[in-house]
Amino acid sequence: YSRRLAVPQQRGAQRAVVQRGYGLFLQSGCGSCHMPTLITGDDPRAPDLSGQTFHPFTDLLLHDMGEGLADGRPD
């Protein structure tokens, strides 16, 4: 089921506050690991999902960012 869900649309990308944040993201070097844009690969079993652009801003890893940013969840 979830494999066939559409890629979430990027929202507010042209807003000044978002552009400023994006600039800081790149300026601080976060974009070297946390990819701002990815494109799905080719999958012959699901050609409609191939070549989809999405903006996850992630390195697809979990990080311990310290107590100040912790959400307090036990999981």
Percent of the chain, pLDDT > 90?
Answer: 23
Q: Which of 58, 43, 59 is nearest to 4 (CA)?
A: 43
**Two tokens at 19?**
């552009």
**Residue extents of the structural domains in the chain:** 34-59
Query: Could you count the other beta carbons within 10 Å of the beta carbon of residue 43?
Result: 12
Average per-residue pLDDT in the chain?
85
DSSP 8-state secondary structure symbol assigned to residue 74: -
Q: Which residue has the higher pLDDT, 17 or 63?
A: 17
pLDDT of res. 75: 65
- Enumerate the H helices of 1-75 as residue ranges: 16-27
pTM to 2 decimal places: 0.57
37-54 confidence digits (pLDDT tens)? 889 999 898 888 889 888
Please tell me which of 7-11, 27-31, 55-59, 70-74 the model is most confident about, judged by mean pLDDT: 27-31
pLDDT of res. 73: 75
